[in-house]
Amino acid sequence: MIKDGQFYIDFPEPYKRRELNAKYRKIPLKDTTSRQLRKYFNAMAEFASSDEQVKLTIFAERQQSAAVEFDEEDPDAWKTQLT
């Protein structure tokens, strides 16, 4: 994603469980190690999401994304994009 002329990656990157498992399979790790890494990652993500500053940052990013998607001059314009 490009923001303010710079490339950045959302963190944590949104992956479905099967996609994440496929990525772990590409790394030569034991199954027990990859399971442990997922537990650590989930614990870190849960801890980060409980932090107030992280919540405010996520809110600001979502609010900015919504502002880009919805036109304030024509608030009903999004209806024409429905399929």
Residue range 50-77: average pLDDT? 80
Tokens of 39: 């537990």
8-35 residue pLDDT tens: 666 667 778 888 888 878 888 787 887 8
Concatenated DSSP letters of the chain: -EETTEE---SS----HHHHHHHHHHS---HHHHHHHHHHHHHHHHHHHTSHHHHHHHHHHHHHHHHHHS-SSSTTGGGGG--
pTM: predicted TM-score of the whole model, two decimal places = 0.41
27 exposure class (CB count in 10 Å sphere: 0-12, 13-18, 19+):
exposed
The domain locations on the chain are 2-67
